[in-house]
Every structure is written in structure tokens, then in C-alpha cells.
Amino acid sequence: MAFYSRAHICHCLSRLATLRIHSAVTISGNRRNTGHQFVDGVLSLAQGLLDLGIRSGDVVAISALNSDRYLECFLAVAFVGGVVAPLNYRWSFEEARFAMEMVKPVMLITDSSCSYWYPKLENDHLPSLRWHVFMDSLSEFSSKETLTTEMLKKPALKSLSFNYAWAPEGAVLICFTSGTTGRPKGVTISHSALIIQSLAKIAIVGYDEDDVYLHTAPLCHIGGLSSALTMLMVGGCHIFIPKFDAKLALEAIKQHHVTSLITVPAIMVDLVSIIRMKMTWKVTESVKKILNGGGGLSNGLIEDAIKFFPRAKILSAYGMTETCSSLTFMTLYDPTCASSRQALQEFVEIKSSSFHLPEGVCVGKPAPHVELKICFDSSDHVGRILTRGPHIMLRYWDQISSRPSDSPDEGWLDTGDIGSIDDYGNIWLIGRTNNRIKSGGENVYPEEVETVLSQHPGVTGSVVVGLPDVRLTEMVVACIRIKDNWQWADNSPVHPTEKKELVLSSETLRHHCREKNLTGFKIPKLFTLWRKPFPLTSTGKLRRYQVQREVLSHLHSLPSNL
């Protein structure tokens, strides 16, 4: 049996069953479960899945908001050897259907958050889909064949007790990320990768069974899932809110004395804003650990985080879905070391000047299990960042396995980022080899947005770029060229349904994007008129970075005649 097949994320259940006997291990709304109750729910659901006919290697898709039931379903499917495919609840029906057509799930588990698109799926049947299961009570769209998780649960047989099953290759998760076309790509992740990632977070962040962890990141993302499994391994308490809302998060921190949470810059901005507005600084004194990902925090935001979370150790992580979350970690602030912030600033200044790096961001050192190297193409110091180790994906779901052979020279994964490694082993990010925009923790691919914009009859061309933004990390901006007989009227917007005049505006283009089912976070926040030809290379390829630089230089006067 292959080396990776002996690891299983449900190993944590035997320990979890004996923890928090008199206190909750999960709190979701009015539901509270001790460790024993939570484990019993997982095993009962696992028994029900087996009786229904779920077998090793079967794919089960989940589309739901964060809750204890989501985590219960994830573990139950993993227990019986299934592979979980979380769907982003923010997706349009078309995106969800495309993902399911790719991975061919036998079961779809949903809650009320996707009731707006599930009826469309029933009318557009997927051949692989045999069962639909609701986490909540049955909805008005339910058919006679629809089940609920509570209906499925059956007393677990003694023979089932911790008798785990594995899917082929040791796979357990298909986590979706977008490819260069913007279409979802299914990243296949193993039990081993998730466990090793959890151990790294335990070692570096310092999670333990006394932690009260607030789920701020969606469980359909690798950051949210890997942190949830980390907390299961240590036996901490899970606090669920359906999705991130700064007010709800702050109330949860106050009510449950939350000790740890993860953020992306947009989450941190919203938390800082509401704390400042409500002047509720003391509410956050219980927080001891904050791990930020999905983009670096600006210096000003770090200062605000230190001010409003004075007792928290604040760390930043760099990673990607294909590497099962975090590759590197860096401590931004440690309250037990009074000079840590000053030392960090001095380090950045010294290294930037002495190592002669181009403009870049330090993201810290690799986790213990991670190998990183730079593949130099034309520069002595800067190149493509490659990684190797048990943390990397097995493969994209519809591709042949990317796992290395026995050769030590194979198995390196190209992260798609460019950067360098300094003499102290710190990784510096310079940019991306592809055009991905990171906005609010979500990946946005310009090509997908440009394709939608090009379908408007008044648009002759568009270039989508990301501009630096304190809250979102990058803001999606579209530069638009319009047809000669059309007018740009951003200062006097025309109603989206007005057809009498050939007029374009930011609002009409946003309406067009929504009509084309472009997900909300992909719709440009800013549109600007571009009157000259887009810059091209000698081979006819777009100089996207030149467009970005010109937009930045004219930002103070947008919209302008660029």
C-alpha cells in the first residue's frame, strides 16, 4: 500500500471523542455539541452514507455556508472513503454546474444558501448525481427523493468504529481554484497533505486544545478547511457564523471569548473599521492568534491590527490551493516580544537595501515540511518559485497524476509566482507569472472578465487589471474601448434597461456582467475609458503591466482620456 494511504484526517476523532466532555467543541447558532456528541454525529452519518450506497472513491459535492453540519458532512464522507468537492456558495449556477460536470459527484449536499439555483439543476440533470441531501429541513423545492442529513443518520455499528476507508491515491478533497481561463479547476488533495499542513500550523502558530476558534473563512476554501482540520486535531472549540460579517464576528468574539481566527486583508479592514466605529477595543482582548493569508497586510493595517488586537500574535502566510494552503509563515507581531514590530521593520529595511532586491514583499520562511527553490530564467536573483514535498496536490482532478517518481529531481510544482530567496532563507514575492488578480481573498482572472465585457455590443475591447487596494489587496479595474457611434456617460448614468441611445456607463457594464452571470467579486469595481490602442509586444501580445502602470499614473483623474 502506498505510503500516503495510511494517513487519514478522521484519526482525530478518537481523541476528540474524549475532549470537552462538559463543554462544547462546536457552537453553531443555538446548537452546541461536546466532543462525544460531534463524533457520534459523524459516525452516525457515515453509517447512513454506507447504507445508502456511498463507496470508496465516490465524489460528494457540498454547497453550503459555514456550520457544524458542514464539518460533520465533510468528515463523514471522508470516513467512508469518499472525496469531498466543496462548491463556492458565491458561484452562479453556471459555475456550480461546470464544476460538478467536471468531478461527477454521486451526491450533492446543500443548505438554503443555494436554493436559488438548485431548481435549475433539477431541470438540467447531471447523469452522475444520484442523491440530493439537505443540511437543513426540506425546502419548497424538495422532491420525494430528497433527503436530509438527519434522515440519513443511523446508529453506527460497532464494526464501523474508527474503521476508516480511503479513496484511491489517498485523495480526500477536490478544492476548486480558477485556471488561466477563469474556469474552476479541481485541485485533488490527499489526507497526508491536510494533516501535514495542520501540523505545520500547530507548530508555527501555536494552536492548542484551549483555543476557541472563530470560522471567518469559508469552508469551501483551502484556508478555511485546513484551519478547521487543524483545530479538530488539537481539540479546540469551533465557533461558526454562516459567513463573514464584521458585526457578527465581533459579537461572537465577545460572547465566546474567541482566542484565534484567520483573516484576509478585506476581513481585517472590516474588523478594524467596526472596532474603531464602535470603540469596542476591550472586546478583542481574548484574541491571542491571528493568521492572515490571501494577500499581505499593509503597514498601516498591521499597525491597526496591533492596536485593536493588543494581545494577539499576528502572523502572515503565503500559499495556494495547489499546495494545500500555507507554504511560508512570518510573524508580524508578537506581544511577548515588545520589540518584534520594530525588529521586523528594521529587517525589511536592511534586507531591501543590502540584498538589492527589486520591489517585493517578504513572506517569511518555509514551513518545516516545505521545500522551495528559485528557477532562474534570466536574472541572478529573481525567478519562478517552485516547491516540492508531501503538501503538494496529487493532481488536477481531470489530469494524470502529478506525483513525483522515485527520482529526487522530479516532483517540483511551479507556484506561478516569481520571487527570490535571501541569505536568511526568507522568500520575497515580486509578482505573478500569470495575470491572476487577488481580490478580497478570491482569485479573479482578467481573461474571464474581458470575455464577458466583449459580449456587450458597445465594447470593442477591454483590458482588466488589478490595482493595489488596502481592503481587497487588489481592486478589479476594467479599461474599456467603445465603438465609434457609442458615447461614454459615466457622469450621467443611463438606466441599464434604456435602449434608445447608444450610451455606455459603469453602471450599464456592471448590469451587463450580472446578466451574464459573472460572480459578484469578479465584476470590476472601477471602469475607465481607454481611447487609444492597447499596447502590444512585437509578437502581438498585450502588455498588461503597461496598462496597469498607466492606469495607476492617471488614477487621480479617472476617468481620463488615456
Contacts 24+ apart (CB under 8 A), 94-98: 94/517, 95/184, 95/517, 95/519, 96/63, 96/121, 97/121, 97/124, 97/126, 98/183, 98/184
pLDDT on residue 401: 61
> Considering the domain 437-557, what is its CATH architecture?
2-Layer Sandwich (3.30)
pLDDT on residue 159: 66
Q: Which CATH class is domain 3-243?
A: alpha beta
pLDDT on residue 177: 86
The x, y and z cell numbers of residue 321, run together, are 490551493
Q: Is the peptide bond before 559 cis (omega within 30 degrees of 0)?
A: yes
pLDDT on residue 317: 96
pLDDT on residue 146: 75
Domain residue ranges of the chain, discontinuous segments joined by +: 3-243, 341-432, 437-557
pLDDT on residue 178: 64
Give the pairing type, strands 59-63 and 83-86: parallel
| SS3 call for 248 | helix
pLDDT on residue 559: 46
Q: Please, are residues 267 and 216 in contact by the beta-carbon 8 Å criterion?
A: yes
Cα(19)–Cα(28) distance, integer angstroms: 18
Distances (CA, A) of 314 to 332, 444, 517: 5, 27, 37
pLDDT on residue 446: 86
Backbone dihedral angles phi then psi of residue 5, each to the nearest 5 degrees: -80, -10
pLDDT means over runs of 10, the chain (562 residues) = 69 90 93 95 95 96 97 98 95 89 95 83 84 78 72 82 89 82 83 97 96 97 96 97 96 97 93 84 90 85 92 95 96 80 51 45 92 79 89 90 50 89 88 80 85 90 91 93 89 52 91 91 94 76 86 66 48
In this structure, whether the domain defined by 341-432 belongs to CATH 2.30.38.10 is answered with yes
